[in-house]
Amino acid sequence: MHLIITEKHNTAKRISEILAPKKPKQVRVSGVDTYQWDGTTVMGLSGHIVAVDFPKEYNNWQKVDSRELINAEIITSPTQRKIVTALRKLGKEADHVTIATDFDREGELIGVEALRIVEKVNKNIQVDRVHYSTITKTEILKAFQTLSPVDFNLAAAGESRQVIDLIWGAALTRYISTTAGRLGNLFLSVGRVQTPTLALLVDKERERLAHVSRPYWEIMATLTKGIEFEVKHKAGRIWNEKDAKGIFSKLGDTAEVTNLKAKERIDQPPVPFNTTEFIRAASNIGFTASNAMRIAESLYMNGFISYPRTDNTVYPASIDLRKLIESLGKGVFKPYVENLLKQNELTPKRGKKETTDHPPVMPATFVERSKLKDDEWKIYEMIVRRFFATFASPAIWKTMQALFDISGEEFRARGASLMEEGWRWYYPYNKPDDVILPDLEVGQVLTVVDKKLLDKETQPPGRYGQGRLIKVMEELGLGTKSTRHEIISKLYSRAYVHGNPLQPTNTAMAVIGTLETYADTITKPEMTAKLEMEMDLISEGNKTEDEVVDESRVMLSAVFDDLNKNNEKITEELRTGMREDKIIGTCEKCESDLIIRRSKRGGRFIGCTGYPDCDFSLPLPKSGQIIVIDKICEQHNMNHIKIITKGKRPWDLGCSYCNFIEWQKSLKDTDDKKK
């Protein structure tokens, strides 16, 4: 029997439909669906079916010191028992196994995990590997005609990441959580990639908090010549109020055109999508990083787009790009394809990074809008349009800079209009608006219809949005194309951040502040980037997995040396920071702090620190993590709160007092109806 192993069940189903001469037979093996025909069986895994862990004797957080985890034994245990049982059963019967998991570091490891299980029951089985980037008939048939050996070095690199992340994450998380007294579901998570990423957000928040607003003034005038348009004083920001008022007071009611400069600006086409730029573009149209990748994965498994985890920004020469463009010329895309095919040559824009594992994120086949959900269509359409745009001509803008004299003061205006749409016709997202100026001539005198003296102040630097954060993580070597969006999701689920742009909580500020003071290695990107480079050496065959894991253990031991020297200070700072994250507002009865408390039965409520002298309290929801945000209720002077529950959207509860009043009112209304 020939056993083909894919990464997911959906992939197994699609590949079997492509390879089988007629509809394959669906057979359940140990509770797992497989697809069979003529001595061939295709089965899908569920991603990783085993996980690395510590032996059970290390599980007790309070009895086993966190430092012991650094050099503890690492074991592998099944996480998908039905799939493991099915693999063993089919592996005994097979004489040939083909690994058909995704072609990247993670996919190679998932395939090797499955292969190890098969080889335990069938040592002499023939093994090979197939590589593909789209699940289309053409590519799958080609892949199964071009078999390769399994890349055990690539899998070892993936496994080293699992082991290193387990050791660092478990040891540091246990240390910080037990030191802070935060156990159970509310433990404080620390990780090799997660923590330096969180440090970026905390450092940005500190910049914002340290910002001192500085007042400035701007002077604007509205002129008319057929249409009204605004001009701005050449000084831009005027830092002295007296100077600004002096200029404003002398302005008359006419403006003379003193200079005109017209130019053409060439707006070059975009490069093909890699994973990071795809996520950034999806973020710009309203998708979170994790949601964009989830949808892209679904589109890939259905054969509509290429593999969405890639660093490549150059289309491979092996792809017939003209043929692919022609195949997309249906439905809403028809006029765009017809226009592209008028070009004598289809020469795509090339990005800076070229790899050989996968093409850029691009369409694989045409799919009608009616066959996709709204969110799926938005992502698919954006990918198709980006693909078209990379073959299009540049957009050309006509720009105009005009200078005006108003009572001896120089004012300026800039105009821009799109003369040739070029690639922006295909890819209209985030297109700048035209800024129209009327036809002007030097020496013309225009009427000033309005003047404004604007009183402003400088603003703090903006927070990171998800798209921007992913880009910075890539630049600093934090995580990989496959894991960066997962790291951001983890920061949300751990209640370290909220909102988008991402705002760190007081607990996050306390954790990062403490680590930066006493063990800053874990907060710096250099540490995790160095380990990523070491993992690359494993995949290239220049280092072994054991060597890199042992090096990481030495680095982590040095971190613990610093932590243990300052244990008491760390405890104090963490608990102070977490207490600040529990303060909701000021008690209306006694003006003491209102904080989040737990009752003897484990329930949560808002209570007064003046207790027992003051008994003011408010109820809170029974489940979910509570995040105190900086928005304040004007009526009750209390911070709004959010409730984070795994698998659900965050609940903006708002002001707890307002919420309580509304709840009491609804109870009264219900009682009145019953009466």
Catalytic residues: 307
Beginning with the edge strand found earlier in the chain, give each strand of the sheet holding 651-654 in spatial order.
Answer: 625-632, 639-644, 651-654
CB 229 within 8 A of CB 237: no
Q: Specify the 3-state DSSP secondary structure of 229.
A: strand
Q: Using CA of residue 584, residue 587, residue 591, residue 597, what is the dihedral sign?
A: negative
CA nearest to 414, candidates 429, 430, 397, 431:
397
* Residue whose pair of structure tokens reads 């899908």 in the numeric block: 44
With beta carbons less than 8 A apart as the criterion, state whether 313 and 354 touch: yes
Beta-carbon contacts of 482 under 8 Å, excluding residues fewer than 6 positions away, are: 104, 105, 106, 275, 309
Report the distance separating Cα 113 and Cα 76, nearest Å. Answer: 10
Give residues with Cβ within 8 angstroms of 373, minimum separation 6: none
Task: Scan for tokens 């130019």, then name that residue.
Answer: 263
Residues 515 and 538: their CA atoms lie apart, in Å, by 30
Nearest Cα to 480, choosing from 282, 281, 197? 197
Side-chain half-sphere exposure of 457, counting CA atoms within 13 A: 6
Could you give the residue ranges of the DSSP H alpha helices within 433-587? 466-476, 484-493, 506-518, 525-539, 545-565, 567-580
Cis peptide before 78 (omega within 30 of 0): no
The tokens of 144 are what? 């199964």
- Burial letters for 126-152: b for 16+ Cβ neighbours within 10 Å, e otherwise? eeebbbbbbbbeebbeebbeeeeebbe
Helix, strand and coil content of the chain, in percent to the nearest 5, comes to 40, 25, 35
CB atoms inside a 10 Å sphere around CB 192: 24
How far is the C-alpha of 194 from the C-alpha of 56, rounded, in Å? 25
Could you tell me which of 155, 158, 78 has the C-alpha nearest to residue 112? 155
In 267-355, alpha helices (H): 275-284, 289-301, 321-327, 334-340
Alpha-carbon distances, residue 270 vs 92, 316, 361, 429 (angstroms) = 51, 17, 13, 12
Backbone angles phi, psi at 68, to 5 degrees: -65, -20
Cα 519 to its chain centre, rounded Å, is: 27
First-residue to last-residue Cα distance in the chain? 73
Angle subtended at Cα 491 by Cα 489 and Cα 494, rounded to the nearest 5 degrees: 105
Which of 486-496 are b and which e, b meaning 16 or more Cβ less than 10 Å from the residue's Cβ? ebbbbbbebbb
Continuous segment of H or E residues that includes residue 671 = helix 656-674
